[in-house]
Amino acid sequence: MARKNAVYAQSGGVTSVINASAYGVIMAAREASFIDEVYGGYDGINGVLTEKLIDLGQEPPEAIEALRHTPAGALGSARRKLQDLEKNRAEFQRIIEVLAAHDVGYFFYNGGNDSMDTTAKLSRFAAENDYPLQVIGIPKTIDNDLPITDNSPGFGSVAKYNAVSILEGSLDTESMHRDSTKVFVLETMGRNAGWIAASTGLAQRSERDGPHLILLPEVPFDKEKFLAAVQELVSRLGYCAVAVSEGTKDGEGKFLSEVGGQDAFGHTQLGGAGQFIQDLVNSELKLEHPSSTFPTF
């Protein structure tokens, strides 16, 4: 097998462990008998399009070693989603030209669902144009919603963060409920998958610890059942802690809250499900609640 060079790039929202994945790819590529040089794409796919490739072989060994414990994205990231091949062949052609100029036969893209979409498109384009390129997707998403993966790097750190956050909020509410706050609401990320919201359940050591209620995108929100559950918990325990995923929908499939517009990937911009729940509790049950939701990623 002829030796070829490799390119690794990071994409989407970075996590506290994405650089650990970078370290793994770089070290494995260096050990591979069929890979020569390893380059890093600066700012994700943008670095490939603009030919801003970093020769990682020139980086000090201690810098590469430090990636295992370094947060954020060392190579920079991008939220650029490539359009369909039929609409934007020129961009894919540019990528192939850059890769060919550097004798690249292996492309590793580290990201979530939209990044994996990019790898699929690039792989298809390379095959259609007879360019020998192996395109490998490296999973990364705090939502833990990549198909065919069991546990995506990034999910563990955000699961711990949210579990600790709701436990702290629950304990604070328990301390205050006799005089003021009786309901605490934590909004988490999760457009279509409720893994993050569900992970808050890791914090519950007894029935007195939150979360007492978890609202997921996969389960249609039932207003009456929810209010009845909150009322029962407040009557029995004196307070209630609720975890709500940003993607929670009503019975008709409509998001509880949309801030309007779209994000960089063309998805409906979400935000405010927690505020919706707080306002609902306040207006229907007349209970004290925090002035705003606890911020998450």
**Which residues are known to be catalytic?**
143
Q: Is 1 exposed, middle or buried (0-12, 13-18, 19+ CB in 10 A)?
A: exposed
Contact 10, 110 (CB under 8 A): yes
Amino acid, single-letter form, for residue 279: D
**CB-based contacts of 177: which residues, under 8 Å, 6+ apart?**
238, 239
- Of 270, 291, 271, 269, whose CA–CA distance to 279 is shortest? 291
Indicate the DSSP class of residue 295.
P
**CB-based contacts of 159: which residues, under 8 Å, 6+ apart?**
195, 196, 199, 202
Pairing outcome for strands 104-111 and 4-10: parallel
The span from the CA of 276 to the CA of 151, in Å, is 30
Peptide bond into 220 cis (omega under 30): no
